[in-house]
């Protein structure tokens, strides 16, 4: 069946939210909050059948910082297809249109996080390369206690999280969110049941369950021992897993490197700058 791809409009809201709900099982309130906080006209592409949206994906603005140089980027977000229209080429058509639009707007990269392993092969067909990875390190409570130091909380919450993140990750190639996107990421993390620990110059975003803590991002301008102490306050946790930049100096006896994202360079400068990179850091992801 013939389909077309263009930008979403106000009349598409019900169809788009229905597709989103079926794909991700998010609440109406959660979806509404995304549209209120992050949606912009000209930043959502839909594939239509007889004028009706059956697949959708959103652009979120970001930067891909490579060796200290910021490149403009679109983060490809909440890509989803109505169940009855899957495997009919709709998402492929949206990916092709996304590349066309981003090039027209002089954007350097499109970045995305495949939801599952087989999708890496799917996106590779459209030129995407696996560029982002995380190193997962695991500590027992006793191991983390050995590295913890007493926190100075007199100035906790006094620093801007955006500034902390930019500065602490500046040593690496990384995906840099704007302040609005970072605020939304914090909202999304909280809505999913996550928590945040703060010290005077750092933060850690984490979630707990079944005697385990997963620290999805930890950023600090000094040694993270103070943050370790804050995390250890979760009394029911025995195992602590940290998602870190591959080149982060924190190591444990139990660790592994896992691919987490892909990018598409949209011009020669971007392609040269990103050539050979396999361990750039994403950290906080949306979706």
Task: Convert the pLDDT of each residue in 178-200 to its tens digit.
Answer: 888 898 998 889 888 999 999 98
> Is residue 282 in some structural domain?
no
Closest CA to 10 of 42, 55, 34, 50: 42
* 176 plus 213 within the same structural domain: yes
> Is residue 285 in some structural domain?
no
Residue 56's domain spans which residues? 3-130+261-274
Task: Tell me the pLDDT of the chain averaged across its residues.
Answer: 94
* 88 plus 118 within the same structural domain: yes
Helix (H, G, I), strand (E, B) or coil at 1: coil
Mean pLDDT of 195-224: 94
Higher pLDDT, 235 or 63: 63
Total of domains in the chain: 2
Q: What is the pLDDT of residue 191?
A: 86
* 126 plus 218 within the same structural domain: no
How many CB atoms are closer than 10 A to CB 73? Answer: 25
Alpha helices in the chain (DSSP H): 13-24, 28-37, 90-104, 118-124, 141-147, 161-168, 179-191, 225-231, 268-274
> Is residue 229 in some structural domain?
yes
Task: Convert the pLDDT of each residue in 258-277 to its tens digit.
Answer: 999 999 999 999 999 999 99
- Contacts of residue 65, Cβ cutoff 8 Å, sequence gap at least 6: 71, 169, 170, 173, 174, 175, 176
For residue 173, what is the DSSP state? -
* 67 plus 80 within the same structural domain: yes
Q: What is the pLDDT of residue 287?
A: 61
> Is residue 19 in some structural domain?
yes
Q: What is the pLDDT of residue 155?
A: 61
CATH number at residue 140: 3.40.630.30
């Amino acid at each position: 069946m013939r389909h077309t791809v263009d930008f979403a409009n106000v009349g598409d809201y019900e169809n788009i939210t229905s597709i989103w709900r079926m794909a991700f099982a998010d609440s109406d309130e959660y979806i509404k909050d995304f549209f209120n906080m992050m949606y912009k006209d000209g930043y959502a592409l839909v594939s239509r059948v007889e004028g009706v949206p059956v697949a959708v994906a959103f652009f979120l603005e970001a930067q891909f910082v490579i060796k200290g140089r910021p490149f403009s980027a679109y983060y490809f977000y909440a890509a989803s297809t109505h169940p009855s229209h899957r495997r009919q080429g709709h998402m492929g058509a949206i990916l092709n249109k996304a590349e066309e639009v981003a090039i027209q707007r002089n954007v350097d990269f499109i970045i995305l996080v495949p939801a599952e392993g087989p999708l890496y092969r799917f996106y590779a067909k459209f030129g995407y390369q696996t560029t982002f990875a995380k190193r997962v390190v695991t500590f027992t409570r006793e191991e983390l206690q050995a590295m913890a130091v007493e926190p100075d909380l007199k100035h906790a919450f006094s620093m801007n999280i955006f500034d902390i993140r930019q500065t602490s990750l500046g040593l690496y190639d990384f995906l840099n969110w704007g302040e609005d996107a970072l605020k939304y990421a914090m909202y999304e993390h909280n809505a999913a049941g996550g928590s945040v620990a703060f010290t005077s110059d750092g933060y850690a975003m984490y979630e707990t369950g079944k005697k385990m803590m997963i620290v999805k991002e930890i950023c600090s301008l000094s040694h993270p021992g103070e943050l370790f102490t804050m995390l250890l306050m979760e009394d029911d946790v025995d195992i602590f897993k940290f998602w870190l930049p591959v080149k982060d100096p924190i190591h444990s006896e139990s660790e592994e490197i896992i691919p987490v994202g892909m990018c598409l360079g949209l011009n020669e400068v971007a392609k040269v700058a990103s050539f050979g990179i396999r361990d750039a850091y994403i950290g906080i992801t949306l979706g």
